[in-house]
Amino acid sequence: MSMSSFIDDETLQEYISESLEHLADIEQDLLTIEEGGANIDEEVVNRVFRAAHSLKGGAGFLALDTIKELAHKIENVLDMMRNREIAPNPEIINILLNSFDKLRDLINNSETSNDVNVDEFIVALVGLTTAHLTPAEQESVSNLIPIIKHNGNVIFEVPEIDLAQAKKSAHYLYLLEYDLIHDVYQHGKTPMEIIKNVMDLGTVIESLIDIDQVGTLEDAPINSIPFYMLISSIIEPVVAPGFLELPDEKVLLIGNDGRQLAVEVASPAPPQPKPQAKAQAAATPAAKPPTAPPAAQAQKSPTAASAPPTAPKKPKTTTPAKTPTDSGRTDSGKADKNESQASLRVSVSLLESLMTLAGEMVLSRNQLLQAISQHDQHSIKLSGQRIDLVTSELQEAIMLTRMQPIGSVFNKFPRVVRDMSQKLGKDINLVITGKDVELDKTIVEGLNDPLTHLIRNSADHGIEKPEVRMAAGKNAAGKIELRAYHEAGQVNIEITDDGNGLNPEKIADKALEKGLITADQHKTMSVKEKMALILLPSLSTAEKITDVSGRGVGMDVVKSNIDQLGGQIEIDSKFGHGTTIKIKLPLTLAIIPSLLVTVGDERFAVPQVNVSELVRIGAAQVKERIERVGNSEVMPLRGELIPLIRLASTLGIKSTVIDPQSGIAVEDRRQSIADRRSPSTGIDASLPEHEENTEIAERSGRDRRYKAKSDLNIVVVSAGSFKYGLVVDDLHDSIEIVVKPMGRHLKHLTSYAGATIMGDGRVALILDVGGIAKLAELTSMAGSQRAQDLAESSEESRRKDRQALLLFGNGPEERCAVPLDIVERVEQVMYENIEVKSGQKVIKYRGGSLPLFALSDVSEVAKLNQEQELVVIVFTVANREIGLLATQPVDTIEINAVIDQDTLRSTGIMGSTIIKEQTTLIIDIYELVETLKPDWFKRLQKKEARQKEAQRQSLSSAAPIQHEVRNILLVEDSDFFRTQLKKYIDDDERQCIPAEDGLIAWNWLQENPDGVSLIITDIEMPNMDGFELCRLIRNDSRFDHLKIIAVTSLASDEHIAKGKEVGIDDYQIKLDKDKLLASIEANIN
Amino acid sequence: MADSTLQLCSFQLAEALFGLDTMLVQEIIKVPEITKVYQAPEEIIGIINLRGKIVTIIDLGVKLELPSTVESRNRRIIIVESGNEPFGLMVDRINDVIQIDGGKLGPAPANVRVSQGRFISSVFRDEDQLIAILNLEELVNQAENKTD
């Protein structure tokens, strides 16, 4: 029979929630104990001991025997630990951790806990305690002493060792006989209160509810439920009943033989339990509060003669009993999920403020009712305002009751990381910050699984083994940081590790292999996009599945968990250096600010967190602003192409437009926003073309209303890492809505996140922007990719080679730019500081003279004048520093410019491009200096000599210099750089053969194996990159003689190493002309 | 005998008579404003706000593969509950609450189509009427399975 039949549920619930609270901090404490090793922090051990002790006490009362037993055995180990009889080591801590896990599991399933077999834990724990005992003591473990009342009733049997242990720290054994009816319930107490009180006063050894005495229903009405507790305490027998709140006759002093001592405890002349004990009791400071748990120092006093021998024990090096196997751990994993408790703790102050607000609410309601009955408009208004105010406050306060510190989830990770480090043979430090950050209870609970997964991932796949880390020049100990913080009304959680990082290429390869992306996408994706691929289902990069993670559940599960919580996940990783995963979460799920939109007659709420901006395109502009690519519509928005989704057609709502003639809403038959085709069917014929509409409407004088309908309202929403535009009929207010779940028939609809009840009592659906995108077949990855494909397939690859330009002025109207890479510095100068020495402008600069040039020196451009703010842009040309005079404003920009090389081409001006809607001249500083200072360029003199020679020869022969020109294959995908490089290199000795990517170059080489004398190649290119090209060339003996120079905008050591490996002969920075030319000279055949 | 007496709420879908055990009926309401749920299964008309609860409305006509209910002032929604969730069953007309003798219940006739048959738990027949008694759980759960 179950005890819960007469122990009320409330007591059980209280016990469970308190126990779980006790258990919550235990892991941390045990880990601290482990860290301390033999250097025991009594405070911490005591804390864990007390927790186990409380669990035991309550379990005894609730007849949760298995829990009691397990807690008791744990308690024994801890008791010995705090008495320094055993020293904590990882093995012992392991056993304790696993036992506590099991305990938590049992408590979560307390109903069935008595049927659970915990023998393996008991054996392990008993092994720990007995391993250190003398044979005599070992015997005392199995030797049961019956506790016998005066009347001969045996209440229970207790192992001798338990009695002995108890007496070590306290001097009196009491058998307490509580009557649950008279002593507890009738005094308005709860059983838990009684137990807690007892545990404050002493140590509970055993407890029992005497069911047999209760009888059955047929018997006389129950008038007593005895509850026995055997405790040890330092409290003197005289005062014990008072402290224990029991009548004197219910506090029985028990002798060491387990028999009730002859004389009643409370008799006027209390019998002395034992002379020694008495002496010790007297020696105990009288002022010592009885609430303290058995003081550790008391243990040192010699024990009573009758107690089992307690000769000083030397810790023996015995192998602790078998560690409970992993089954315990798996169970604990399950238990975690069950931990979503049905009850919640709320601070009293918060509860009081709720009560106050509720009172206010009632008051306001009364005022309102009165005002209504008196038809007092003014008072009605006032009460309305008051209710408005109180409601908001009430709402806020109620929301607060749901807030929980995230620490309740974070606290388990030190254990997780510890266990994993042990298992994986790694050294990992976990740093946790922001435990106090509070989140909605549901969110905190929902975070458990995804965070565990991420932490496991970091520990397993992120952090490398110590030897690998050392080899990579890292600290042998890895570090995982778990951080929670508030930002912009959201909570961010970051998991950062300094491990190996993600390899975007590997992820992309895998995605390609699994057919998740196409080969084209594979080539054109950005690094970040590649990394985001890891969130796709069935993509686990773990090369081998380990015991610890990689159990077939991947990051996609994490993502969907986070999605469910209304959160977003971002991955940032540097290969070789670590990974940061950032999760953004809303504070609460129950009430969310949302934007109201309408389509036809339907209202929808879009969660504000998804809304990034609102765009309204006037009817007249629709044609220009919306582009159609294939069957899709896109809207360029600040350089990004935003795919558009029409909500109406996606959901199948019949969108309406106001018929200008009748003023009645008519179904909008246009297939797409920018659709201008003539209506063909009869019904459609009634709908004049869009733009005509506007005109008619304007004429009819209802333009305002009409225009609102014909304008295009777009909500730009972000779903995870990508954005799209949701086209709706109308935009309305932003309101706070209460999310209500949908019924079971509708739950599967991914388009909706739920429903809400509007102010007018009607229901509106809440859109799930991710779901809508899916419905419109714009899945996150494919969607963003498709939009880019639409943009222009080459756009993406070109974007990688964006040029950083320095913008500056030349004269009031002219804007100029030079590649930022070749700029050394920008200095401000005063006009009067410029001197002219032997026809050359110079300025004193860093102890020398800096020659100054102006664009007007070589080209037909505006001359600089005194009034302007002057700057000098410093370059290194021909191994000299030179300055180019320019004017403010100086700015930098990163663009993907297409250079017009004809229109404004002139000496020193490479061409022009449009930057920020201004025609901008791209300056060729080398040409400029070369023109003005030809003697600086020795090569140029040589060239001139050759030119003269050539001229002479050309007189005699038709094409005599052809053989002298050596071809250089220039492989570069960026127009800008290709043009620039070609200009640098081309002269009459050298001729560039441009190729746009590795594949084109390779194909060309196949046809012209002897066509070139040198290859200059970019690294990052679409279709075939520089490394691959190089590999092919090096594997072909025909090209053995060819040298390869790689040009990059940034040469990292890693790159260079890889380059050397595949056979690149030299590395040059793209726009460092001098060095590049020197390298060409050195390497050309 | 008390055991065999059953109280039925009888209602009409098109011309056919159906009945539902009154113990299963929470309330009967007039048709309020219904919010249509696009992309939902055909038999789901939409959702309503019933005193703060979101209630899914099922067109019983469509569900039973009969003509769908027709907008009229007689149209009603029977609110039932299953699995802690309220549902609204839209019917063309509520007829009556009748006491019937359990002894007069028979199995569904063989000529009822299979697809309908599983929603009908038994049939009541007396001198002037034939009422098909619906199996609520089947009605509500089938809907779920079907949409999966």
Q: What CATH number was assigned to the domain covering residues A801-936?
A: 2.40.50.180
Which residue in B33, B40, B83 is closest to A746 by CB distance?
B40
pLDDT tier at B91, thresholds 50, 70, 90: very high
Task: Assign A729 to helix, strand or coil.
Answer: coil
A885 in contact with B, Cβ within 8 Å: no
Lowest mean pLDDT segment, chosen from A411-420, A490-499, A549-558, A993-1002: A549-558
Which residue in A602, A652, A763 is closest to B54 by CB distance?
A763
Contact between A905 and A860 under an 8 Å Cβ cutoff? The reply is no
Q: How far is A779 from chain B (nearest CA, A)?
A: 18
Q: What CATH number was assigned to the domain covering residues A1-131+320-335?
A: 1.20.120.160
Which residue in A652, A740, A762 is closest to B39 by CB distance?
A652
Query: What pLDDT shows up at residue A625?
Result: 79
Q: Edge-to-edge, what's the strand order for the sheet holding A578-586?
A: A428-433, A478-487, A490-497, A578-586, A568-574
B83 in contact with A, Cβ within 8 Å: yes
pLDDT tier at B58, thresholds 50, 70, 90: very high
Q: Spell out which residues of chain A touch residue B44, defining contact as CB-CB under 8 Å.
A: 745-746
Interface test with A, best of B33, B38, B142 (most A CBs within 10 A): B38
Query: What pLDDT shows up at residue A294?
Result: 43
Q: Spell out which residues of chain B touch residue A599, defining contact as CB-CB under 8 Å.
A: none
Which residue in A741, A746, A761 is closest to B37 by CB distance?
A746
If you search the block for the tokens 């409601």, which residue do you land on?
Answer: A391
Q: Spell out which residues of chain B touch residue A764, defining contact as CB-CB under 8 Å.
A: 35
B107 in contact with A, Cβ within 8 Å: no
Q: What CATH number was assigned to the domain covering residues A405-502+541-586?
A: 3.30.565.10
Give the residue extent of every domain in chain B: 2-147
Chain centroid to CA A441: 18
B80 in contact with A, Cβ within 8 Å: no
A762 in contact with B, Cβ within 8 Å: yes
Query: What pLDDT shows up at residue B28?
Result: 92
Q: Spell out which residues of chain A touch residue B35, defining contact as CB-CB under 8 Å.
A: 602, 755, 762-765
Interface test with B, best of A744, A752, A767 (most B CBs within 10 A): A744
B72 in contact with A, Cβ within 8 Å: no
- Interface size A-B, in CB pairs within 8 Å, comes to 66
Which residue in B38, B52, B56 is closest to A743 by CB distance?
B56
Whether A783 has a pLDDT exceeding 50, the answer reads no
pLDDT tier at B27, thresholds 50, 70, 90: very high
Among A449-453, A768-772, B74-78, top mean pLDDT goes to B74-78
Whether A699 has a pLDDT exceeding 70, the answer reads no
CB contact under 8 A, A742 and B54: yes
CB contact under 8 A, B56 and A746: yes
Query: What pLDDT shows up at residue A819?
Result: 81
pLDDT digits (tens, 9 = 90+) for A257-306: 777 775 544 444 444 444 444 444 444 444 444 444 444 444 444 444 44
Taking alpha carbons only, the member of A592, A633, A603 closest to residue A730 is A603
Whether A1041 has a pLDDT exceeding 50, the answer reads yes
Whether A327 has a pLDDT exceeding 50, the answer reads no
Which residue in A has a C-alpha nearest to residue B55's C-alpha? Answer: A743
Query: What pLDDT shows up at residue A342?
Result: 60
CB within 8 Å of A401: residues ≥ 6 apart: A344, A346, A350, A351, A354
Can you tell me the mean pLDDT for B135-146?
67
Lowest mean pLDDT segment, chosen from A84-93, A530-539, A855-864, A996-1005: A530-539
* A707/A390: higher pLDDT: A390
Can you tell me the mean pLDDT for A47-60?
80
Interface test with A, best of B29, B35, B84 (most A CBs within 10 A): B35
Architecture per CATH, domain B2-147, reads as Beta Barrel (2.40)
pLDDT digits (tens, 9 = 90+) for A194-244: 777 777 777 777 777 766 655 555 555 556 777 788 887 777 777 777 777
pLDDT digits (tens, 9 = 90+) for A870-929: 788 888 877 778 888 888 777 777 776 677 777 777 778 888 887 777 788 888 888 888
Can you tell me the mean pLDDT for A161-178?
74
Question: Is 3.40.50.880 the CATH classification of the domain at A591-655+704-791?
Answer: no
Q: Spell out which residues of chain A touch residue B29, defining contact as CB-CB under 8 Å.
A: none
Whether A396 has a pLDDT exceeding 60, the answer reads yes
Among A75-89, A352-366, A1054-1068, top mean pLDDT goes to A352-366
B50 in contact with A, Cβ within 8 Å: no
CB contact under 8 A, B54 and A752: no
CB contact under 8 A, B83 and A653: no
Q: Spell out which residues of chain B touch residue A761, defining contact as CB-CB under 8 Å.
A: 49
Query: What pLDDT shows up at residue B78?
Result: 94
Query: What pLDDT shows up at residue A938?
Result: 62
Can you tell me the mean pLDDT for A89-94?
83
CB contact under 8 A, B38 and A746: no
A764 in contact with B, Cβ within 8 Å: yes
Q: Spell out which residues of chain A touch residue B143, defining contact as CB-CB under 8 Å.
A: 745
Neighbours of B112 (CB within 10 A): 15
Lowest mean pLDDT segment, chosen from A304-318, A548-562, A598-612, A1058-1072: A304-318
Q: Cα–Cα distance between A458 and A443 in angstroms, integer?
A: 22
Q: How far is A647 from chain B (nearest CA, A)?
A: 11
Whether B88 has a pLDDT exceeding 90, the answer reads yes
pLDDT tier at A103, thresholds 50, 70, 90: confident
pLDDT tier at A329, thresholds 50, 70, 90: very low
Lowest mean pLDDT segment, chosen from A124-128, A545-549, A578-582: A545-549
What is the average pLDDT score of chain A? 73
| H helical segments located in A864-974 | 925-932, 938-956
CB contact under 8 A, B49 and A775: no
Among A320-324, A402-406, A536-540, A682-686, top mean pLDDT goes to A402-406
Are A1-131+320-335 and A801-936 equal in CATH topology? Answer: no
pLDDT tier at A967, thresholds 50, 70, 90: confident
Which residue in B49, B52, B54 is closest to A743 by CB distance?
B54
Which residue in A has a C-alpha nearest to residue B140's C-alpha? Answer: A745
HSE-up of A210 (CA within 13 Å, CB side)?
19
Query: What pLDDT shows up at residue A326?
Result: 39
CB contact under 8 A, B54 and A757: yes
Whether B3 has a pLDDT exceeding 60, the answer reads no
Scanning A924-943 for CB atoms below 8 A from B yields none
CB contact under 8 A, B49 and A764: no
Task: Assign A966 to helix, strand or coil.
Answer: strand
Can you tell me the mean pLDDT for A185-200?
73
CB contact under 8 A, A749 and B39: yes
Q: How far is B73 from chain A (nearest CA, A)?
A: 20
pLDDT tier at A120, thresholds 50, 70, 90: confident
Query: What pLDDT shows up at residue A914?
Result: 78
pLDDT tier at B76, thresholds 50, 70, 90: very high
Q: How far is B55 from chain A (nearest CA, A)?
A: 7
Q: How far is B36 from chain A (nearest CA, A)?
A: 8
Q: Cα–Cα distance between A1008 and A995 in angstroms, integer?
A: 13
**Length of chain A measured in residues:** 1085
Q: At A142, which helix (H) or strand (E)? A: helix A135-142
* B144/A60: higher pLDDT: A60
Task: Assign A798 to helix, strand or coil.
Answer: helix
Q: How far is A447 from chain B (nearest CA, A)?
A: 27
Share above pLDDT 90 across residues of chain B, in percent, rounded to a whole number: 23
Whether B47 has a pLDDT exceeding 90, the answer reads yes
Whether A945 has a pLDDT exceeding 50, the answer reads yes
pLDDT digits (tens, 9 = 90+) for A521-570: 777 677 777 777 777 765 654 444 443 444 335 677 777 778 777 777 88
Cα→Cα distances A810→A805, A856, A900, B66, Å: 15, 9, 19, 82
Can you tell me the mean pLDDT for A431-457?
84
Q: How far is B47 from chain A (nearest CA, A)?
A: 7
A743 in contact with B, Cβ within 8 Å: yes
Among A179-188, A289-298, A961-970, A1033-1042, top mean pLDDT goes to A1033-1042
Contact between A764 and B33 under an 8 Å Cβ cutoff? The reply is no
Contact between A852 and A883 under an 8 Å Cβ cutoff? The reply is yes
Scanning A12-71 for CB atoms below 8 A from B yields none
Query: What pLDDT shows up at residue A787?
Result: 44
A759 in contact with B, Cβ within 8 Å: no
Taking alpha carbons only, the member of A974, A571, A635, A626 closest to residue A787 is A635
Which fold, A953-1083?
Answer: Rossmann fold (3.40.50)
Scanning B87-106 for CB atoms below 8 A from A yields 87
Whether A721 has a pLDDT exceeding 70, the answer reads no
Tell me if the bond preceding A741 is cis, omega within 30° of 0: no
Taking alpha carbons only, the member of A84, A46, A295 closest to residue A171 is A295
Compute, in degrees rounded to 10, the torsion defined by CA atoms A719, A725, A726, A727: 180
Whether A36 has a pLDDT exceeding 70, the answer reads yes
Q: Cα–Cα distance between A571 and A1024 in angstroms, integer?
A: 27
Can you tell me the mean pLDDT for B10-29?
89
Which residue in B38, B52, B144 is closest to A745 by CB distance?
B144
Q: Spell out which residues of chain B touch residue A755, defining contact as CB-CB under 8 Å.
A: 35, 47, 54
Contacts 24+ apart (CB under 8 A), A44-49: A45/A78, A45/A81, A45/A82, A46/A82, A46/A293, A46/A296, A48/A78, A49/A75, A49/A78, A49/A79, A49/A82, A49/A293
Lowest mean pLDDT segment, chosen from A432-441, A762-771, A773-782, A1062-1071: A773-782
pLDDT digits (tens, 9 = 90+) for A428-438: 888 888 888 88
Q: How far is A391 from chain B (nearest CA, A)?
A: 17
Give the residue extent of every domain in chain A: 1-131+320-335, 145-301, 348-401, 405-502+541-586, 591-655+704-791, 801-936, 953-1083
Among A117-131, A213-227, A854-868, top mean pLDDT goes to A117-131
Q: How far is A27 from chain B (nearest CA, A)?
A: 38
Whether A708 has a pLDDT exceeding 60, the answer reads no
Query: What pLDDT shows up at residue B112?
Result: 63
Lowest mean pLDDT segment, chosen from A7-21, A352-366, A723-737, A788-802: A788-802
